């Protein structure tokens, strides 16, 4: 599996302008014609483009200089040099680009196919034809091209999920993601199987309505103080519309766990635990006791949106998806 890189500093370097040309006209009957050296071409620019097909920033090599091409030399016969080739770098949706020196946010790729010009190529130098004047008929000099801009950029990826799945380790978050989307996260019967967020797309109503859902690493008490995997990955769900709190229904104190999760979220970002949510009780195939499940549900405050499922066997998944449509996306069935 490729490493999940969600922050990287690189240098974007635009192309140098091409030098102007020093040239004199050579014509059949005029041995010493006037100056005709053309201008150098503009240097290439560096662009970033958001692309749905890209998921991570791992293609970027830290501190590498990403360079556009220099402009071409000017030529005789007043021919300007052509512009240097631009460099276009693809980034995943959700990437933010900061100036790493000032920390200023330069661009936020909130959707597909957005284009950001990070640095501009240097101007081409003037050819000697430009410098001809009444007093200076045959200038024997031309300008060099200007240097291209360069910037130190910090690229940060915040997954742009519509919904996030939050829960303790081993509650079945990745299993649920794998059942309702085509994502293939690692699933195993131990804590902290998931080390970085996974994103999946839920397709509804024959492809016309879809949304993204993020499965994030498990959260334990004290995560805000660095326990377990900490909470830094929560930045990937800061902008979600809603949260699925997922629990192992065989756990002894689901209510306490919910309180703990919300407290941890709150210490990361006060608004996170106030988002619209659904309580999802998973692994009901292991409980197999309707009375127990009813009591468990009844122990939550009134008006809590709650559903029981088995991510593994598929029980309740259709109902969960319907509830998600209605609660988070206000869809009517």
Footprint of Mg ion on this chain (CB under 5 A)? 173-174, 193-194
Cβ closer to ligand GTP: 88 or 193?
Answer: 193
Select the residue interacting with ligand GTP from 12, 89, 187, 202 (CB under 6 A): 187
Neighbours of 174 (CB within 10 A): 25
Q: Which two tokens stand for residue 183?
A: 């994502």
Cβ closer to ligand GTP: 277 or 282?
Answer: 282
- Residue 188 interaction partner, one of ligand GTP, Mg ion, none, beta carbon < 5-8 Å per kind: ligand GTP
Per CB under 6 A, the segment of 11-19, 145-153, 185-193, 204-212 that binds ligand GTP is: 185-193
Q: How far is CA 194 from CA 163, 199, 228, 253, 254, in A?
A: 17, 12, 11, 23, 21
User: What's the rounded Cα separation, in Å, for the pair 267 and 259?
Assistant: 12
Cβ closer to Mg ion: 100 or 193?
Answer: 193
User: What's the rounded Cα separation, in Å, for the pair 84 and 13?
Assistant: 12
DSSP 113: T
Select the residue interacting with ligand GTP from 21, 50, 56, 194 (CB under 6 A): 194
Please give the residue whose beta carbon sits closest to ligand GTP in the complex: 218
Cβ closer to ligand GTP: 91 or 168?
Answer: 168
188 near ligand GTP (CB under 6 A): yes
Per CB under 6 A, the segment of 35-43, 54-62, 130-138, 309-317 that binds ligand GTP is: 309-317
Rg (CA), the chain: 29
The closest alpha carbon to 111, from 181, 52, 197, belongs to 52
69 near ligand GTP (CB under 6 A): no
What are the residues whose beta carbons fall under 8 Å from the beta carbon of 191, sequence distance 6 or more?
169, 170, 218, 220, 228
Cβ closer to ligand GTP: 63 or 188?
Answer: 188
Report the residue count for the chain: 333
Residue 96 CA from chain centroid, whole number: 7
- Residue 169 interaction partner, one of ligand GTP, Mg ion, none, beta carbon < 5-8 Å per kind: ligand GTP
Per CB under 6 A, the segment of 56-64, 150-158, 190-198, 267-275 that binds ligand GTP is: 190-198
Within 156-175, the residues that bind ligand GTP by CB under 6 A are 167, 169-175
Residues 95, 327, 303, CA angle at the centre, nearest 5°?
125
Residue 73's Cβ-count burial label (10 Å; 0-12, 13-18, 19+) is: buried
Q: Are strands 105-108 and 95-99 parallel, antiparallel or unpaired?
A: antiparallel
CB of 244 to ligand GTP, least distance (A): 11
Q: Which two tokens stand for residue 170?
A: 């081993």
CB of 227 to Mg ion, least distance (A): 17
288 near ligand GTP (CB under 6 A): no
Residues that bind ligand GTP (CB under 6 A): 167, 169-175, 187-189, 191-194, 217-218, 282-283, 285-286, 310-312
């Amino acid at each position: 599996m490729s490493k999940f890189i969600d922050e990287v500093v690189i240098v974007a370097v635009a192309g140098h302008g091409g030098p102007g040309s020093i040239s004199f006209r050579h014509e059949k009957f005029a041995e010493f014609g006037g100056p005709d050296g053309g201008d150098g071409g503009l240097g290439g620019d560096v662009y970033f483009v958001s692309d749905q097909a890209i998921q991570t920033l791992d293609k970027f090599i830290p501190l590498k200089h990403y360079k556009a091409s220099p402009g071409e030399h000017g030529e005789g016969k007043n021919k300007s040099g052509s512009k240097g080739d631009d460099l276009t770098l693809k980034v995943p949706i959700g990437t933010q680009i900061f100036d790493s020196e000032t920390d200023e946010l330069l661009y936020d790729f909130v959707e597909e196919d957005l284009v950001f010009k990070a640095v501009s190529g240097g101007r081409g130098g003037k050819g000697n034809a430009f410098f001809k004047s009444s007093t200076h008929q045959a200038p024997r000099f031309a300008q060099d091209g200007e240097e291209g801009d360069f910037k130190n950029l910090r690229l940060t990826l915040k997954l742009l999920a519509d919904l996030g799945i939050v829960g303790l380790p081993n509650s079945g978050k990745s299993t649920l993601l794998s059942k309702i989307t085509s994502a293939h996260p690692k699933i195993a019967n131990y804590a902290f199987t998931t080390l970085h967020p996974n994103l999946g797309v839920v397709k509804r109503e024959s492809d016309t309505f879809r949304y993204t859902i993020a499965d994030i690493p498990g959260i334990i008490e004290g995560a805000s103080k660095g326990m377990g995997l900490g909470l830094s990955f929560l930045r990937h769900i800061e902008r979600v519309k809603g949260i699925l709190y997922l629990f192992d229904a065989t756990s002894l104190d689901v209510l306490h766990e919910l309180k703990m999760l919300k407290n941890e979220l709150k210490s990361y970002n006060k608004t996170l635990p106030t988002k619209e949510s659904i309580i999802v009780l998973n692994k009901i195939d292991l409980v197999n006791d309707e009375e127990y499940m009813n009591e468990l549900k009844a122990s939550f405050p009134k008006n809590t949106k709650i559903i029981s499922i088995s991510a593994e066997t598929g029980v309740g998944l259709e109902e969960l998806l319907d509830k998600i449509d209605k609660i988070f996306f206000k869809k009517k069935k």
